[in-house]
Amino acid sequence: MESGLYFNEDYGDVSDVTRMLYLASDMPAFAADQKLEGPVGEVFNYSSGTSVLLSRVWQDTFNAPQDALAWPYEALFGPLGMDTAVFETDPRGTYAGSSNLYASARDWAKFGQLLLQDGVWKGERILPEGGYGGCAPPPRLRAASMAGRPGCTAPAPTRRAACRKTRLQPTARRILDARP
């Protein structure tokens, strides 16, 4: 991730990620309060906080909160037959985005197969072509540690429009505007 957001991902101690996931009642607000450690788009640092901010921005694009909460089940888990999938939220209803998605090994295998098939499942396109492209590092960062890199493949105008709709400015806007 190149959001520039400073986020301590050490699960061995009380850290930013453990505070956010286990103590914060509003995970996006917690993440938005963190400082930037460098210019957006220039410094790689895996950040669950960035994933949570993006999750909130995405959820805010829906007309009703319940529509956002239902979407992963209706558009992804249902068509794949991922019957065991459980995607947890914080108390305010924000998907973690970085974690807290549970499923059986068989259901995870279905998801992996969907990615291997470029988003096509049983002849039906579930994800946009190349929709998982964010799983691969940009060429200049291929040698860096890229564990857990979430993808955001929406075009910049879409990300900026979503960001304007959310209450997580200015941090979310700085992060989302950085990608072309």
pLDDT of 107 reads: 96
Give the pLDDT of residue 143: 45
Q: How many helices (H) and strands (E) does the chain have?
A: 8, 4
Q: What is the pLDDT of residue 136?
A: 55
pLDDT of residue 142: 44
Element holding 29 (H helix, E strand): helix 27-32
Give pLDDT, residue 77: 96
For the chain of 180 residues, list the mean pLDDT of each consecutive stretch of 10.
81 86 91 86 83 92 94 95 94 89 94 89 89 55 43 42 44 46
pLDDT confidence of residue 151: 42
Residue 132, pLDDT score:
63
Residue 120 pairs with which residues in a beta bridge?
Answer: 125
Q: Is the dihedral of CA 76, 70, 58, 38 positive or negative?
A: negative
Provide long-range contacts, Cβ within 8 A and 24+ apart, for 58-67. 58/162, 59/93, 59/94, 59/95, 60/162, 60/165, 60/166, 60/167, 61/161, 61/162, 61/165, 65/93
pLDDT of residue 149: 40
Compute CA 87 distance to the chain's CA centroid, rounded to the nearest angstrom. 12
Task: Determine the Cα–Cα distance for residues 55 and 68; give it in Å rounded to an integer.
Answer: 10
pLDDT given at position 76? 94
What pLDDT does 74 receive?
Answer: 95
